[in-house]
Amino acid sequence: MAASPEFDTSVAHPARVYDYWLGGTDNFPADRELGDAMIRAIPTLPAMARANRSFMERAARHLVSSGVTQFLDIGSGIPTSPNLHEIAQAIDPSVRVVYVDNDPLVAEQSRAMLADVPGVAYIHADLTEPETILADPLLAGTLDLSRPVALMVVALLMYFPAERRPERWVAELLAALPSGSRLALSHPTADFDPEAVAAANAAANAAGISLVSRTRAEFTALFGATTLLEPGAVPIATWRPDTPPSDPHEAYYYAGLARKD
């Protein structure tokens, strides 16, 4: 068995900050310090993290109901129940999921949690090296790449500024998937409260985490050549909500789902 990856608990990490906002316990003082600094800028950040999580859940349910039963989840984060495979397999037990993340703590916990789960695998890799993800035998061993796959990139591209062109990595992953595959994206925006978001981003950047927001037009561009599906690129609270939100802009995120033709 491979040794558990090492991780530095003295430095804040996005996955662990997110876990803190969700009320998890897999975080450390550095993560909580940054999480609190960002909350001082945007007091509703924990609620926004839950809204983003809710989008993932709604998207998973919608995709399975639409006949897509395979998922490639990039930047999957620390396992939080219900996780994507639990949501999707509750609708269709044949659903298959590959999780991908580059955080050692995520790797340790995901491998332990998924060891005995049929049809689910974890790949320790980075979005910035899509060829490594595509070459991993666990990918082809878990997913049937002749059938549509839902590529989930939820709250991840915010860590890459425009000059790094993160859309090219997404496009490379999509290129390996068949027609009919889907792309689900969510991303924070400053469109609804520029000053608060700028302050939160500054706190993250001061802690060594590159964090950027994007306008609706910039977010839409991340979908590349795919075809956006209804309701389009919209405020995350308004993407196929279970209950219509009282304030469409209550979470400073956009979300969307697209199809590869």
Residues 215-242 have a mean pLDDT of 98
Round to whole Å and give the CA distance between 98 and 104. Answer: 17
pTM more than 0.85: yes
pLDDT tens for 220-231 read 999 999 999 999
pLDDT tens for 159-204 read 999 999 999 999 999 999 999 999 999 999 999 999 999 999 999 8
Residues 242-252 have a mean pLDDT of 94
pLDDT at residue 6, as a whole number: 57
Could you tell me if 237 and 52 are in contact, meaning their C-beta atoms sit under 8 angstroms apart? Answer: no
Could you tell me if 100 and 125 are in contact, meaning their C-beta atoms sit under 8 angstroms apart? Answer: yes
pLDDT tens for 79-100 read 887 899 999 999 999 999 999 9
The token pair at 33 is: 């310090």
The confidence band for 3, taking pLDDT boundaries of 50, 70 and 90, is very low
In this structure, whether the domain defined by 14-259 belongs to CATH 3.40.190.10 is answered with no
Instruction: Quote the crossing angle between the two packed helices 29-41 and 14-21, to the nearest 10°.
Output: 70
pLDDT tens for 110-148 read 888 888 889 999 999 999 999 999 999 999 999 999 999
The confidence band for 1, taking pLDDT boundaries of 50, 70 and 90, is very low
**Phi/psi of residue 120, nearest 5 degrees:** -130, 135
In the chain, where the domains are located = 14-259
Could you tell me if 260 and 176 are in contact, meaning their C-beta atoms sit under 8 angstroms apart? Answer: no
pLDDT at residue 253, as a whole number: 97
Residue 5 has pLDDT above 80, yes or no: no
Residue 78 has pLDDT above 90, yes or no: no
> What separation in angstroms does the CA of 78 have from each of 46, 122, 140, 184?
16, 12, 23, 19
Q: Which of 32-36, 148-152, 226-230, 251-255 is the least confident region? A: 32-36
Round to whole Å and give the CA distance between 239 and 249. Answer: 12
pLDDT at residue 18, as a whole number: 85
More confident site: 13 or 72: 72
- Quote the longest CA-to-CA distance of the chain: 50
Q: Around 120, how many Cα atoms within 13 Å sit in the side-chain half-sphere? A: 22
The confidence band for 4, taking pLDDT boundaries of 50, 70 and 90, is very low
Round to whole Å and give the CA distance between 99 and 10. Answer: 26
Could you tell me if 84 and 90 are in contact, meaning their C-beta atoms sit under 8 angstroms apart? Answer: no
More confident site: 156 or 12: 156
Q: Report the mean per-residue pLDDT for the chain.
A: 93
